Amino acid sequence: MTPALSTRGLCKSFGLLEVAREIDITLPQGARYALIGPNGAGKTTLINLMTGMLAPSAGTIRLNDEDITALTPQDRVRRGLTRTFQINTLFPALNALEAVTLAVCERRGVAGNFWSRLSGASDAVDEAHEILRTLRLADCCYQPTRELPYGRQRLLEIALALATRPKVLLLDEPAAGVPQAESGEIFEAVAALSGSIAILFIEHDMHVVFRFATHIIVMVAGAVFAEGPPQAIAEDARVREVYLGTRRHG
């Protein structure tokens, strides 16, 4: 079966600084992959390369067997590759309904319509509201984003991504900065995502990783260090040494 997303020989350097080295990753359909590694390993850089925010020095990226290496970021989103940001990258003055409606309109290709009324684009608005409802954001959807509590904003990050109807979803630390008590809601939302979406998520919390991931990729210093099923990674002495420390997980 064609992999949902794959990279071959992906490299990126800034002068002498190599931030990505010969990265070969294959994400199968419906995957639940975790990307872990110490700070500065290049995880977010990899996502930036995959989504086109950064141009690679070498290598190719394929999305459902189409070479997307030369495509603009927005074209990749239109073909089904979406990401969320580690730091909330939202629209402060727009409310959640407006923000998600905008994403839906962009997907439907109607965002360029300056003649029709927004209130008339009822399908888009209803779809947006439905997405917000499933993420339990419907009750606060008329408040400006900047007034929402941090945990709700993280959920809105995911809502925006879902509005693009992704086939591959790259989540950059979805619960970053969210207190322990609230992070459960975010992971429930992630767990509830459709099995047809292939997910790669960056995460630091090992409990979460072992709970949700079926496959773990470990990155160190810009290269893939190890990968495999969670148990194998947990027991890999080299990984423990470089990242997990000596405590046992499982």
Partner 1 sequence: MTPAAATPRAYLRAQSRWSPIEIAFWLATLTSYLFFPDYLSLGSQIAIAALFALSLDLILGYAGIVSLGHAAFFGTGAYAAGLFSKYVWGEPFSGLLIGGAAAALIGYASSLIIARFRHLTRIMLTLGIGLLLAEVANSAHDITGGSDGLQGMRIWPLLGFFKFDLYGKVAYGYALIVLFAVFVLARRLIHSPFGLALRGIRENWVRMPAIGASRASHIRKIYTISAGIAGIAGAVLAQTTQTVSLEAIGFGRSADVLVMLVLGGAGRLYGGIIGAIIFMVARDQFSGVAPQYWYFWIGLLLIGVVTLMPNGILGGLSALQARWRGR
The residue ranges that bind partner 1 (CB under 8 A) are 51, 53, 72-74, 77-78, 82-83, 85, 89-94, 97-99, 101-103, 105-107, 110-119, 121-122, 124-126, 128-129, 139, 141-142, 160, 163-164
**Minimum distance from CB of 73 to partner 1 (Å)?**
4
Dist. CA 182–CA 201, nearest whole Å:
18
Task: Decide whether 108 or 240 has the Cβ nearer to partner 1.
Answer: 108
Backbone angles phi, psi at 11, to 5 degrees: -130, 150
Are the beta carbons of 191 and 211 closer than 8 angstroms?
Answer: no
- Tell me which residue of 140, 118, 138, 120 sits closest to 129, measured CA to CA: 138
Q: How far apart are CA 181 and CA 199, in angstroms?
A: 24
* Burial class of residue 2 (count of CB atoms within 10 Å of its CB; 0-12, 13-18, 19+): exposed
Report the DSSP beta bridge partners of residue 26: 6
**Nearest to partner 1 of 82, 209 (CB atom):** 82
Nearer residue to partner 1 within complex by CB, 105 or 233: 105
Tell me whether residue 63 or residue 226 sits nearer to partner 1 (CB atom). 63
State which residue, 74 or 194, has the beta carbon closest to partner 1.
74
For partner 1, the closer of residues 119 and 246 by Cβ is: 119
Least separation in angstroms between residue 101's CB and partner 1 is: 7
CB 76 within 8 A of CB 51: yes
Q: Which is nearer to partner 1, 169 or 226 (CB)?
A: 169
- The least distance separating partner 1 from the CB of residue 176, rounded to whole angstroms, comes to 17
For 78, half-sphere exposure in the C-beta direction (CA atoms, 13 angstrom radius) is 11
